[in-house]
Amino acid sequence: MIFAIAAGLPLAAAPAADLYKTKCTMCHGTDGSGNTPMGKKLGLRDLRAQTTQGQSDPQLLAVIENGKDKMPSQKGRLSKDEVKQLVTFVRGLPKGR
């Protein structure tokens, strides 16, 4: 499934991609770059960069679950499993740089 995401295959094959699209792209962008009006306003980092990718899975799980700065908490809105899938999705974002 990770390969399917990286290759940009249909989203139906990847529920995490759907979740990311509905809950995360408005800020982080489809590619994770943060290159969106909201992302620029909030000064978002590129999720594909080492600053993010260098963090452990538990650290990223915690950010997605609890939020960070202006990022809203997803507690009660996403199941543990969905949060885990999103970490995998963030790990699988095509490296832009």
By CB under 6 A, tell whether 44 contacts ligand HEC.
yes
Residue number, 4 or 38, with CB nearest to ligand HEC = 38
Long-range contacts of 88-92 (CB under 8 A, 24+ apart): 88/2, 88/16, 89/5, 89/14, 89/16, 89/17, 89/19, 89/20, 90/20, 90/32, 90/47, 90/52, 90/60, 91/2, 91/53, 92/2, 92/5, 92/6
According to CB under 6 A, which residues from 47 to 86 bind ligand HEC?
A: 47, 51-52, 60, 63-64, 68-72, 74, 86
Q: Shortest distance, CB of residue 12 to ligand HEC, whole angstroms?
A: 19
Residues that bind ligand HEC (CB under 6 A): 23-24, 26-28, 38, 42, 44-45, 47, 51-52, 60, 63-64, 68-72, 74, 86, 90
